[in-house]
Amino acid sequence: MSSSAPPTGPSWDGSTDGVEPPEGNGFGPYGPGGDMLLPSEEDRAKRQQKAGRRVARATGKAVVTRVQDMFSAGGPAFNKLANAHAASTAGDTLIAIALANTLFFSVPSSEARGNVALYLLITVAPFAVIGPVLGWVMDRPGAERFTLVASSLLRLVAAIGLVFEADSFWLFPLAFVLMVLSRVHGISRSALLPMALTNAVALVTANARLAQVGVFAGGLIAPIGAGLAAFGPAPVLIAASVLFGVAVWQSMALPDVTGAPPRRPIIASEMIVPLDPDAPPGPDVEEDADDEQELEDTPEDHPASDAQLRLARFATAVVRLLNGFLVLVLAFAFRDVDAPLADFGAVLGAAGGGYALASFAAPRLERALREEPMVVAALAVEAAAAFIAGQFFGLPAAIFLALAAGYAWGTAKFAFDGLLQATLPQSLRGRAFTKSETVFQVAWVIGAVIPTGLTIDIRIGLVIAGCVALLAQTLYVSRLLQRI
């Protein structure tokens, strides 16, 4: 039996190995005369451009979908709350950019310490008054929405005032007002959040989503603010005023959620429901009419006791204290050696990046851990980062430390907010958030005052920070174990 060799076609180099090429007509892979046509550089460039455009469209679509989900995952009321939070955060970012050069970078190091000390005093002084006053106001029905609108409106007025008085004595009083109102806005937002969730969303996850909104808004506006700052503080402050106006508008558009029927918040120990606006409510949200009376919020209905809440507040406050200490000890370490502005920007950017990372990691942590272990983990991260950075200090170590500190603060804050929202009834949340924010702000200022008033060697300061974090972690865990 004989067999014939299979015909061969064109080889890689274009030879035909005895096969007659077809007569070409100028189209397809063969040209006139049967010669093979290889794609030109221009053709390859066009194909690459088309592929690049397809990738860009797909990436853009994915980003838009992610941003839409970030803003609307909790329902219509959550969407308005997220819009108001985004505008508020963007405005606060511009205020910080406008004030940064005036307070810190444009003066000698010794004077910078004095300016920072005065600014720290301004940031903590209002809480001596606003704590009891705001707590009393927040006890009133519907006060959360009122204070959300009022805080944005008054910041609009204060920002306009700064446009004309940025170089006068009024700089510090107006900065004082803006700081207070920013805290009032944050307290009101946190108190409103559980009522604004019409979809089944875990509370830690919802807080993390709002943080993602803030990070997105701050990151988007920061380079714009930096560009405007090249023309002086006035354009930056005018842009901040516009954003506070948007926050007023969105806060007023927020539906009235204070009269919504009670629903038990979802906490970390329960089943996590996907953040899908079209997903049907889970078993924790659909309750029979006969069970609605059982949903009336009382501390006894929730798994965390008041003592557990106080312990979590203490541990979270230590994280916040260490944040203040680390930010200022790093800032003065670079300031004292006349480090370039880019180094400051890298460290601050890393701190913001760590907080952003926590906002994406917290929902996943919530699936595996309750709120208290998340706070413990935050202290452990801060201790480890401080010890490591103290051994190898330099710009890379400072960036790593700032990243870890931002991540630790975000994780602890989301966990504590979720625990508080799940523990206390609506009527007590406003006062509780006011107290907690006061404690956290005082803790931050105490931590920041230490390196402002004392010149501390950076390595010694980092070892002290690590030891404080370890001590707080040990005390917190031991007290939790005693309650088991």
Residues 329 and 238 in one domain: no
Q: Which of 225, 257, 289 is the last residue of a domain?
A: 257
Number of compact structural domains in the chain:
2
Residues 248 and 306 in one domain: no
Residues 330 and 232 in one domain: no
Residues 244 and 309 in one domain: no
Asked if the structure places residue 144 within a domain, the reply is yes
Residues 81 and 137 in one domain: yes
Residues 188 and 314 in one domain: no
Q: Which of 242, 257, 272 is the last residue of a domain?
A: 257
* pLDDT of res. 78: 84
* pLDDT of res. 238: 92
3-class SS letters over the chain: CCCCCCCCCCCCCCCCCCCCCCCCCCCCCECHHHCECCCCHHHHHHHHHHHHHHHHHHHHHHHHHHHHHHHHCCCHHHHHHHHHHHHHHHHHHHHHHHHHHHHHHCCCHHHHHHHHHHHHHHHHHHHHHHHHHHHHHHCCCCHHHHHHHHHHHHHHHHHHHHHHHCCCCCHHHHHHHHHHHHHHHHHHHHHHHHHHCCCCCCHHHHHHHHHHHHHHHHHHHHHHHHHHHCCCHHHHHHHHHHHHHHHHHHHHHCCCCCCCCCCCCCCCCCCCCCCCCCCCCCCCCCCCHHHHHHHCCCHHHCCCCHHHHHHHHHHHHHHHHHHHHHHHHHHHHHHHCCCCHHHHHHHHHHHHHHHHHHHHHHHHHHHHCCHHHHHHHHHHHHHHHHHHHHHCCCHHHHHHHHHHHHHHHHHHHHHHHHHHHHHCCHHHHHHHHHHHHHHHHHHHHHHHHHHHHCCCCHHHHHHHHHHHHHHHHHHHHHHHHHCC
Asked if the structure places residue 50 within a domain, the reply is no
Asked if the structure places residue 62 within a domain, the reply is no
Residues 451 and 375 in one domain: yes
Residues 77 and 224 in one domain: yes
Residues 391 and 317 in one domain: yes
Asked if the structure places residue 105 within a domain, the reply is yes
Contacts of residue 207, Cβ cutoff 8 Å, sequence gap at least 6: 190, 193, 362, 413, 414, 417, 418, 421
Asked if the structure places residue 18 within a domain, the reply is no
The CATH number linked to 395 is: 1.20.1250.20
Asked if the structure places residue 39 within a domain, the reply is no
Encode the chain (484 residues) as per-residue pLDDT tens digits: 445 555 554 444 445 455 555 554 444 555 555 555 556 666 677 777 777 777 777 666 666 666 666 666 667 888 888 899 999 999 999 988 887 755 554 545 555 566 666 666 666 666 666 666 776 777 777 778 888 999 999 999 999 998 887 677 777 788 878 888 888 888 888 888 888 777 555 788 888 888 888 888 888 898 899 888 888 888 999 999 999 999 999 999 887 665 444 444 444 444 333 444 444 444 443 443 344 333 344 444 444 467 788 899 999 999 999 998 988 888 778 776 666 767 777 887 888 889 889 988 888 888 888 888 999 999 999 999 999 988 887 888 889 999 999 999 999 999 998 888 888 887 778 888 888 888 898 898 888 888 877 878 888 889 999 999 999 999 999 888 887 6
Q: Which of 257, 280, 315 is the last residue of a domain?
A: 257
Residues 189 and 319 in one domain: no
Q: Tell me the whole-structure pTM to 2 decimals.
A: 0.69
Asked if the structure places residue 362 within a domain, the reply is yes
* pLDDT of res. 110: 53
Asked if the structure places residue 467 within a domain, the reply is yes
Residues 323 and 455 in one domain: yes
Domain that holds residue 445: 298-484
Residues 252 and 324 in one domain: no
